[in-house]
Structure 1
Amino acid sequence: MKTVYEDLIFMANQIGDFYKNYPSTEEAIEGIVSHFCRFWSPIMRQRIINYVEENGGEELYPLVREAVKKLKASS
């Protein structure tokens, strides 16, 4: 049985795969945050933030986890 977060984790990690080759970690994190803001609905963004708050975001790639923390700080 899928968890509420499973699809979001999968999608977020796919985004992380794209941005992981950016020149710097900060540029990659900014790119991920920008993608979340441009293409994810507010509900999706809040759910991924909730996932990190509730579970520590352990299934997210480290870059994605940092991006979600930055997303939370900016919202």
Structure 2
Amino acid sequence: MTGDNEKYWYNLKTGEVEKGFESPAVDRAGPFETPEEAARAPEIMRERSRAWAEEESRDNDWGSGVSGDARDDQ
């Protein structure tokens, strides 16, 4: 297993892909297995955020008797 210092990171300030711990942790997103995956970090973060929001919405609606589709019609 490769350590995180050997993986790729997306620098949130510069938009550059880095290998290892080049910049402070607060400025990095990752780790990613490949530089191509790290370059897609903003897209991946949006996808994950959208999925988490949908999951949270379903969890909040659990047991309410109102489905997501019914809410949209109101």
TM category (shorter chain) comes to under 0.3
TM-score (norm 2): 0.27
Larger Rg: 2
Report the TM-score, using the length of structure 1 for normalisation.
Answer: 0.27
Could you say which structure has the higher strand fraction? Answer: 2
